[in-house]
Structure 1
């Protein structure tokens, strides 16, 4: 059975100002992430504006990522569909395009009950031999893959991991109590990574790693080594920016962080619009404060 661990950034799809996909910028960002030590790459997550892309654009992104990665780390693709038939078809297509795993959303068009949720994931798990990470984000999608639902899915060998994004860190322990080590548990929100790893999570699907891969990998590695004191020092510097990962406008906010940190394009696709006014100023101030504090921390260490 496949086991994933480490930092798997949810990669933003880079766009030009007219909304067209910039594949070269996307590939460059993937290379930057891998050069800074991430353990996997996830394209077409929510941060990748999955629901806003056409089918041929999704294919282009997966194939470009496959080329950029060149076998260095696993390539996962987000899979977000409305119908079971559409999700099954996409799972098969994405495998053909080069994806080596899937991060599967619940149905985007209908809030399934627990029985329907289990059947949704069973159908997709049977569509290909790709390993699957369940994307559990009930805050955004209204569907909770609870420990009880996971128990129903425990006999599906291709379902190997859960991106835990309920916002309640206690869920990590609840999953271990109910299921032991059956699923790899990934923290799915940036501002709970230290807490989640202290409870046994072994992976992190991260948004702000797009901007700060070196620092995020460092936090993860410190926690994995049990050095939580050092991890907390860095975590406290980065948490104000990590909080931006949990806002409804996380796509705009994280792309802004990438833009300010290393010059990546900030553009999103409508209906998402560029940040303006007080909101833009506030987000920029938060990010620039983190940039400055990281510089100060680095200077103190070098002294």
Structure 2
């Protein structure tokens, strides 16, 4: 005879509520009513984390909870996830919710389901308020982040990945062509935010797969804290969830890197990129503590950036594999130009290690080595060729990929050799987009090099311009 414990467990969904067996015992709590929910005031911490007002329904529930919130016109929440499943019911307004890269359009009267641990963000695209009551199942698993508990029941995605004998956390929201915009300046030397928005529109419209401000091409080391924060906020607000954003937060000191990383997370960046920068030569233990300090201060994923030519610190593949053991250090950008390092990283950290190529001349070889994407400023000048190369690789057509790579190789080599800020700025100017002056001590591209760049771009005109 089968005991009740051995009997198969029935699985029910929300539409089956009338079919569940009446086995529970009724226990009536004293409090069954929460009057005037919004009059009690919004929840401060939760509202700050979500970037919109959130009101908690305070009732003695054990397996579900409910909150009420809204988004102002054109406002987006932060990208976040929960340790519980969620159902949204839209009282008013129109907008969309991104769930793990999938975009769900909604309007008043719709309901949206968000699975446990799914990365998501809400955007109000209408002219009025978007009202979003949420019914939630209580957390089914506690996964505290390093340095503290999950913020508001949310935390970074965990994707099992084998590396150095351990299972590591991986949230990898990027794949494909991640475009690095330059930072345009006005003639008075200040950052030209309007031109920066136009440049973002050019890149997004070209079809790239991610936007990464404040990289080498974006002259991060030459910008003040206020300028960096303005570029970060402008990027997140202007991209508005259309693409994932990867914000550079590097600094000489851990304190400043933490400051910029926290600001990027609060602004709504999908992830941050961090390169160790040093005047004195840092030990590996010092670099590790630097990454660990930043990682423990935020919950969004971090891309470790290895570029000794600009940062002054060279991180060996063995050390990069060690960095990936920090829970939210989930990606590596390798820019040494040595494909053997990428191959060694795969050997050390596992076949599904998320590494990205940052060396333009190595584009094809890096994809062949297993790069998940290409972090590059080249889409400012030749977006379609970079996208076509990636598409050919994804389709397994390496014969076409080789043709596309060799077609753009002269430009890729030129912009690296001449320095990204000055060569990309000169290229944009030749294409009719005035990027303004460079930040001193950087000087414009010499006339002879500018003429050479012009000829390279003209030779690509049949493919791109």
TM-score, structure 1 as length reference: 0.91
The verdict on how the C-alpha distance between 1:8 and 1:245 changes in structure 2, with shifts beyond 3 A counting, is same
Task: Judge which range, 4-13 or 178-187, deviates more.
Answer: 178-187
Measured in 2, the distance between the counterparts of 1:189 and 1:95 equals 27
Q: Which residue of 1 aligns with 2:452?
A: 286
1:85 matches 2:85: no
Q: 415, 422, 443: which is aligned to 1:252?
A: 422
Deviations for 1:67-117, whole angstroms, at most 9, x for unmatched residues? 221101111111121111221122112212232211101034333122222
The alpha-carbon deviation at position 244 of structure 1 amounts to: 2.6
Q: Which residue of 1 aligns with 2:189?
A: 19
1:192 matches 2:362: yes
Q: Which residue of 2 aligns with 1:295?
A: 461
Show structure 2 runs of 5+ residues with no match.
1-156, 158-170
Q: CA RMSD in A?
A: 1.9
The alpha-carbon deviation at position 266 of structure 1 amounts to: 4.7
Task: Judge which range, 85-94 or 19-28, deviates more.
Answer: 85-94
What is the 5 A alignment of 1:6-45?
Answer: 6-45=176-215
Kept in 2, the 8 Å contact 1:237–1:293? The answer is no
Q: 291, 304, 307: which is aligned to 1:134?
A: 304
Q: Which residue of 1 aligns with 2:290?
A: 120
Measured in 1, the distance between the counterparts of 2:203 and 2:338 equals 28
Runs ≥4 residues deviating over 4 A? none
Measured in 1, the distance between the counterparts of 2:283 and 2:414 equals 30
The alpha-carbon deviation at position 182 of structure 1 amounts to: 5.5
The verdict on how the C-alpha distance between 1:297 and 1:51 changes in structure 2, with shifts beyond 3 A counting, is closer
The alpha-carbon deviation at position 196 of structure 1 amounts to: 0.5
For the residue of structure 1 that corresponds to 2:212, the secondary structure is strand
Show structure 1 runs of 5+ residues with no match.
none
What is the 5 A alignment of 1:52-201?
Answer: 52-181=222-351, 183-201=353-371
| Structure (1/2) with the larger strand percentage | 2
Deviations for 1:112-164, whole angstroms, at most 9, x for unmatched residues? 12222222111111110011111100122231222221232232121111110
Deviations for 1:5-47, whole angstroms, at most 9, x for unmatched residues? 1111121111123211111111111111111111111111121
The verdict on how the C-alpha distance between 1:212 and 1:178 changes in structure 2, with shifts beyond 3 A counting, is same
Kept in 1, the 8 Å contact 2:385–2:463? The answer is no
Measured in 2, the distance between the counterparts of 1:186 and 1:40 equals 12
Q: 389, 401, 408: which is aligned to 1:219?
A: 389
- Which structure has the higher relative contact order (CA within 8 Å, separation 6+)? 1
The verdict on how the C-alpha distance between 1:175 and 1:49 changes in structure 2, with shifts beyond 3 A counting, is same
Measured in 2, the distance between the counterparts of 1:269 and 1:298 equals 29
For the residue of structure 2 that corresponds to 1:129, the secondary structure is coil
Measured in 2, the distance between the counterparts of 1:145 and 1:298 equals 36
